[in-house]
């Protein structure tokens, strides 16, 4: 019996926890997480972001844009212009170009669910829906395609259709209104596609002959990029690279040396900061590494074409290393890239018509520009359009090595299979996914152990779970402690309390903010792989997940069996193995079921060994 009640005293009621109090605690917790994330990001990006927010709040960003009217056409050189002859191309590629150009009709809807008349700097880019597909349409990738078609078929309607497409976009997207002026990077990517289209038409170096409408449009884009430069610099990802390249290209086309120099300086500085000497990119994503490489390649090709000074060191060395990095992780027969980290299927200047799933054209172009002695005579049509010759195709000295480490990654190869481990060490830039120690394993062209992908950045309400799921730890081939992500979320694209990472001789390890440690090491002999996971710290349960390629998998007490591979596991504590249905995103905005092997054990487990045998 309660002693106070027994003595006749009234018990003080415990205060009820109200929803308001819980909300206050959650808000305070998010503030603390945001502060932690800011501390980890470092002063440079945080100060840039604070400056960006200040410029928005005070109206300085709007005033930098100023009042502007939509320019009047024409925008492209007239039909009387004699076009350069098309390069020698395989007949199949020429036919594909013409077929794709015929299907490249101007979209009727440039804005999706976003208000077309609202000021771009005041738009809510998440509430109405996913802005990513809207932005993709407005990158105007059809312009270089239609320029290619015009070269192949000068008497056809392609140049006129390109003019109509551009005129329709300008008319429906007046300056600073609607979603397509909301992002400086999107303006920059449009400039790069415009520059390529003009170059393919042989008109980019005749500045005096460029129509006034085009010059006005380019000047508007340069102004838009410059207005929110602090936001781009705060991101430490593809934004500062793309926006600097867009300024540089606009300066070349407009004959503005000061603008071109400013863009070149920003581009060289971004590459020096964000691309490691080994070629790894600050944004841990092979898909965005491809976009980085495409951007650098277009900027370098335009620089040479216009006779501009070389980009400042270490641009050339870092671009070369980045090209070799992507070649190493790309599947050579199909051009497929591991779907690790954020990926939205971007493909800038896809003159080879490879599409988002095939990076071979991107790698071929970058090698011919930045590492010509490494470039193979692969007949890439995109390189033919740019007049880029192949070299002697000598392998890089370290590419024959079975084990290769770069900043954030470890590659191990043997007997036709290749493993890519996301070590995350050193963790200098913000992680996009909670995917440390995720392991991707490819057997020839088959992605046997694979990532979950990205889903969508802002999925529809009925699929709202996509974003948190696919960026979370459980969507990767790694280990979870007590069902938690490796780090808590401080925002849609921001994690806090990053783990402490370390490199191991044959793997890597991290210790999270709760003191839990996970170490993963790899060993391979012939067609047998051994993945050892060691854990320590305060936890109740661990789960190791292996996301499998679709196939005829049969569960077993210690793993799974199938014609593609056999996986078996053992631990120093009771271990449960279960084959469950998970989810994967093979393309942006697409999600489907996927088989997942879950290995579950409770404390005091300290070691799980997974053995994978390939046929």
Residue 263: closest CA among 224, 311, 195, 307: 311
Best-predicted range by mean pLDDT (33-37, 203-207, 592-596): 592-596
Neighbouring C-beta atoms of residue 366, cutoff 10 Å: 28
Instruction: Give pLDDT, residue 23.
Output: 73
DSSP state of 299: H
Report the predicted TM-score, pTM, of the whole model to 2 decimal places: 0.94
Segment 138-182, tens digit of pLDDT: 999 999 999 999 999 999 999 999 999 999 999 999 999 999 999
pLDDT higher than threshold 50 for residue 2: no
Instruction: Give pLDDT, residue 209.
Output: 79
Instruction: Give pLDDT, residue 399.
Output: 64
When the pLDDT of each residue in the chain is averaged and rounded to a whole number, the result is: 93
* Residue 226 C-beta-side C-alpha neighbours within 13 Å: 18
pLDDT range class, residue 402, cuts 50, 70, 90:
confident
Show Cβ contacts of residue 26 under 8 Å, excluding neighbours closer than 6 positions.
none
Separation between Cα atoms, residue 595 and residue 562, nearest integer Å: 12
Separation between Cα atoms, residue 171 and residue 175, nearest integer Å: 10
Separation between Cα atoms, residue 440 and residue 503, nearest integer Å: 18
Residue 576: closest CA among 598, 606, 596: 598
Task: Please say whether the beta carbons of 489 and 496 come within 8 A.
Answer: yes
Tokens encoding 79: 């039909």
Radius of gyration of the chain (CA): 26
Task: Please say whether the beta carbons of 161 and 103 come within 8 A.
Answer: no
Separation between Cα atoms, residue 260 and residue 246, nearest integer Å: 9
Segment 81-121, tens digit of pLDDT: 889 999 999 999 999 999 999 998 767 799 999 999 999 99
Per-residue pLDDT, averaged over 437-456, amounts to 97
SS (H, E, C) 167-181: HHHHHHCCCCECHHH
Segment 17-68, tens digit of pLDDT: 577 777 778 778 889 999 999 999 999 999 999 999 999 999 999 999 999 9
From the centroid of its chain, how far is CA 535? 31
pLDDT range class, residue 396, cuts 50, 70, 90:
low
Bridge partner list, 542: 481, 601
- Strands (DSSP E) contained in 434-587 are 439-443, 446-449, 479-481, 489-491, 494-495, 500-504, 507-511, 517-525, 528-536, 541-547, 554-556, 559-561, 566-571, 575-587
Task: Say if residue 604 is preceded by a cis peptide, omega within 30 of 0.
Answer: yes
Separation between Cα atoms, residue 3 and residue 490, nearest integer Å: 46
């Amino acid at each position: 019996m309660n002693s106070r009640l027994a003595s006749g005293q009234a018990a003080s009621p415990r205060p009820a926890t109200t929803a308001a109090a819980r909300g206050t605690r959650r808000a305070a917790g998010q503030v603390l997480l945001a502060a932690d994330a800011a501390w980890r990001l470092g002063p440079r990006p945080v100060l840039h972001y604070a400056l960006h927010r200040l410029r928005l709040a005070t109206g300085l960003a709007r005033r930098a844009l100023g009042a502007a009217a939509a320019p009047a056409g024409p925008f492209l050189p007239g039909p009387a212009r004699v076009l350069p002859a098309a390069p020698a191309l395989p007949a199949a590629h020429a036919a594909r170009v013409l077929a794709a150009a015929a299907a490249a009709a101007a979209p009727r809807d440039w804005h999706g669910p976003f208000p077309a008349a609202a000021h771009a700097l005041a738009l809510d880019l998440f509430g109405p829906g996913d802005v990513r597909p809207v932005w993709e349409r407005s990158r105007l990738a059809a312009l270089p395609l239609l320029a290619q078609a015009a070269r192949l078929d000068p008497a056809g309607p392609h140049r006129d259709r390109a003019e109509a497409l551009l005129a329709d976009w300008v008319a429906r997207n007046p300056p600073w209104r609607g979603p397509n002026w909301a992002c400086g990077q999107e303006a920059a990517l449009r400039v790069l596609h415009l520059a390529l289209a003009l170059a393919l038409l042989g008109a980019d170096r005749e500045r005096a002959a460029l129509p006034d409408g085009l010059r006005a449009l380019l000047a508007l884009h340069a102004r838009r990029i410059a207005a929110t430069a602090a936001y781009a610099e705060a991101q430490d990802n593809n934004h500062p690279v793309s926006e600097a390249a867009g300024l540089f290209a606009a300066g070349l086309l407009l004959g503005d040396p000061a603008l071109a120099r400013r863009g070149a300086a920003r581009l060289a500085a971004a590459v020096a900061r964000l691309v490691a000497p080994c070629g790894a990119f600050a944004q841990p994503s092979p898909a965005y590494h491809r976009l980085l490489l495409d951007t650098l390649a277009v900027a370098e090709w335009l620089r040479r074409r216009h006779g501009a000074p070389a980009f400042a060191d270490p641009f050339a060395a870092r671009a070369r290393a980045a090209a070799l990095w992507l070649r190493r992780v790309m599947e050579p027969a199909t051009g497929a890239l591991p779907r690790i980290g954020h990926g939205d299927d971007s493909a800038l200047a896809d003159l080879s018509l490879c599409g988002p799933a095939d990076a071979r054209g991107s790698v071929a172009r970058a090698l011919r520009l930045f590492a010509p002695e490494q470039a193979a005579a692969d007949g890439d049509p995109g390189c033919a359009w740019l007049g880029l010759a192949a070299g002697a195709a000598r392998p890089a000295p370290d590419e024959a090595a079975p084990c290769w480490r770069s900043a954030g990654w470890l590659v191990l190869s043997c007997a036709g299979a290749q493993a890519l481990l996301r070590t995350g060490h050193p963790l200098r830039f913000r992680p996009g996914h909670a995917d440390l120690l995720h392991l991707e394993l490819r057997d020839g062209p088959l992605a046997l152990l694979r990532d979950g992908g990205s889903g969508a950045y802002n999925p529809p309400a009925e699929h709202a779970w996509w974003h948190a799921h696919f960026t979370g730890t459980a969507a990767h081939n790694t280990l979870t402690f007590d069902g938690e992500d490796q780090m808590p979320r401080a925002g849609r694209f921001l994690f806090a309390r990053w783990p402490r990472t370390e490199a191991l001789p044959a793997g890597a390890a991290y210790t999270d903010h709760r003191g839990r440690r996970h170490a993963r090491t790899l060993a391979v002999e012939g067609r047998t792989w051994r993945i050892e996971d060691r854990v320590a710290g305060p936890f109740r349960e661990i789960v190791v997940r292996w996301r499998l390629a679709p196939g005829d998998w049969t569960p077993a007490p210690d793993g799974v069996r199938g014609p593609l591979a056999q996986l078996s596991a053992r631990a120093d504590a009771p271990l449960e193995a279960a084959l469950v249905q998970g989810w994967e995103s093979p393309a942006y905005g697409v999600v489907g079921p996927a088989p997942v092997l879950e290995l579950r054990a409770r404390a005091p487990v300290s070691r799980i060994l997974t053995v994978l045998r390939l046929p």
